[in-house]
Amino acid sequence: VVARLESDTPVNMSTAGKVIKCKAAVLWAANTPFSIEEVEVAPPKADEVRIKIVATGVCRSDDHVVTGGLVRPFPIILGHEAAGVVESVGEGVTSIKPGDKVIPLFIPQCGKCNCCLSTKGNLCIKNEIGSGTGLMPDGTTRFTCKGKAVHHFLGTSTFSEYTVVHESAVAKIDSAAPLEKVCLIGCGFSTGYGAVVQTAKVESGSTCAVFGLGGVGLAVVMGCKAAGASRIIAIDINKDKFAKAKELGATDCINPNDFKKPIHEVLIEMTGHGVDYSFEVVGLIETMTAALACCQNNYGVSVIVGVPPAAQKITFDPRLIFTGRTWKGSIFGGWKSKDEIPKLVADYMKKKFVLDPLITHTLPFNKINEGFDLLRTGK
């Protein structure tokens, strides 16, 4: 689902340095609907960028905050998968200018920490996933509503007509890119596709299993096809997902509820020895352990892509790893965000992959609650 906030038109530069009043979807408490409110968005401080959001995707990670699965302070403006146009920049910003088309980055790239400097990692130390403070790097917020400070989410907060991000958390993209499509490169597509080509490095001829066929799971299927996998087994309890999965490259689609035995045993029987690569894109500990167990017992690789539930622990037989399997995690598809997101947008513009099949509905911003209802019902 993509929520359309604004037309893809030039921004009004006369607002630079001033507080902007605009609409935002504020979440006042867990397990309540989003409330469309008028909020005040402060001007960007030094090293910050204020963005007019044009389109934002609806992602399961946002819903985890609604349900309490991901604990965050309230009130909060969620959203992290978006594209927009820069309205103004703070002092010292050099990589971005007003009028640029951009994608906000929930995994920033400061370029200075150990992960940014390493070729092996992408989880910049400036990320807000671990801390969960809901504040900008200086410890304050740029949003107020009804006289109350409103928290940020993952340094992006894209469920607002305007948002403020740190310069390290925004990437300039092709000025011709359609923002209502490439917003998906801000999370869902990049996360799934990158888990295959960056994290797992799937080889041509491989056998893959994909647990979960939401937007990210379908992007995993696309990545497996692009990598040349010979067999892509898609697994979901919602059979309505199977047609789209096959359209994007799945060779087999199976529903665990159709079998009396555990799904990992079904997959081992289907392949004779287990899959070369498996991807868990659900976010449940049961599917994480099943994805590990369905891998070939010596060289199989299983990648956790779905956001794990808070305060739950996995118990598994250590012999699953002792025989040689590898269990990996992938955050934002392993991409170094500021460097790689513009390249992915360029690849999309060159038609190296498609995004349209991942967009099921396009709704106006004030129907964001309907968007989440569609997400929760698997539609």
> Across-strand partners of 233?
209, 252
DSSP secondary structure code for residue 160 in this structure: B
What residue type is assigned to position 120 of the chain? K
**Ranges of CATH 3.90.180.10 domains, the chain:** 2-189+334-377
Superfamily of domain 2-189+334-377: Medium-chain alcohol dehydrogenases, catalytic domain (3.90.180.10)
Does residue 8 register a pLDDT over 60? no
| pLDDT for residue 2 | 62
**Ranges of CATH 3.40.50.720 domains, the chain:** 200-329
- Identify whether the C-beta of residue 140 lies closer than 8 Å to the C-beta of residue 120: no
| pLDDT for residue 162 | 97
Chain segment 284-327, per-residue pLDDT in tens: 999 999 999 999 999 999 999 988 877 788 888 999 999 999 99
CATH of 200-329, one of 3.40.50.300, 3.40.50.80, 2.60.120.10, 3.40.50.720: 3.40.50.720
Provide DSSP, 336-354: -HHHHHHHHHHHHHTTSS-
pLDDT: which is higher, 14 or 167: 167
Residues serving a catalytic function are 59, 61, 64, 80, 187
Average pLDDT, the chain: 94
At 54 the three-state DSSP class reads strand
Confidence of residue 131 (pLDDT cuts 50, 70, 90): confident
Span 355-359, average pLDDT: 93
User: How far is residue 131's CA from residue 227's CA, in Å, rounded to a whole number?
Assistant: 35
Span 52-62, average pLDDT: 94
Closest to 209 (Cα-Cα) out of 261, 256, 259 = 256
Residue 108 CA from chain centroid, whole number: 13
pTM greater than 0.75: yes
| pLDDT for residue 378 | 84
